[in-house]
């Protein structure tokens, strides 16, 4: 007799509103996942052609350096120095992004000799080392994410490697993954 009572209560729980809410929640999550998947397919796998040029990355870094020199020492914006690194990593140029990540903090330190800091020089050296580490890790992570996105795009549609109007749809990183 107790077994039938337990099985009846389990059946009651399955047919109750609590189970329907669970199913509604799962359906909502699946719907959101489909929408996110559709949105991610619309994102570009590489920046526009103009932003893929190394001269643009270096020029952007120098412009950020000039902006940094014009600011007072107490107001620092080191996250702006990540922009050229992230652009080059998004373009698939890991060597350029790592080079920018290693060179920019030290050139900032050397060229920043015209600026007077209220703290000792060893603090600036430690800051440069920390910026090297953060920018290098960011370059590696963004390059890995970009390569994975290209792989997923190729899995979805292998026709992306065919030239369209004389140029390839995917960046050169896609051709190097094959």
The confidence band for 1, taking pLDDT boundaries of 50, 70 and 90, is very low
Confidence (pLDDT) at 98: 93
Which residue ranges make up each domain of the chain? 2-42, 49-177
| Partner residues linked to 167 by β-bridges | 164
- CA 112/CA 115 separation, integer angstroms: 5
**Is this model's pTM higher than 0.75 or not?**
no
For 100-150, the pLDDT digits (tens) are 999 988 887 787 666 666 778 788 888 889 989 999 999 999 988 888 888
HSE-up (13 A, CA, CB side) for residue 51 = 15
Q: How many residues are there in the chain?
A: 178
């Amino acid at each position: 007799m107790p077994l039938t009572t337990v099985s009846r209560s389990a059946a009651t729980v399955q047919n109750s509103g609590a189970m329907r809410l669970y199913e509604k929640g799962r359906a909502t999550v699946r719907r959101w996942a489909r929408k996110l998947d559709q949105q991610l397919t619309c994102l570009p796998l590489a920046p526009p052609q103009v932003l893929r040029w190394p001269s643009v990355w270096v020029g952007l870094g120098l412009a950020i350096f000039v902006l940094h020199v014009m600011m007072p020492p107490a107001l620092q914006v080191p996250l702006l120095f990540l922009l050229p690194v992230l652009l080059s990593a998004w373009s698939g140029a890991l060597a350029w992004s790592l080079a920018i990540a290693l060179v920019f903090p030290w050139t900032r330190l050397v060229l920043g000799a015209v600026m007077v800091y209220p703290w000792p020089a060893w603090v600036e050296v430690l800051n440069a080392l920390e910026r090297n580490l953060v920018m290098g890790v960011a370059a590696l992570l963004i390059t890995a994410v970009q390569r994975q996105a290209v792989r997923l795009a190729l899995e979805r549609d292998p026709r992306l490697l065919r030239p369209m109007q004389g140029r390839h749809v995917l960046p050169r990183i896609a051709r190097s993954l094959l």
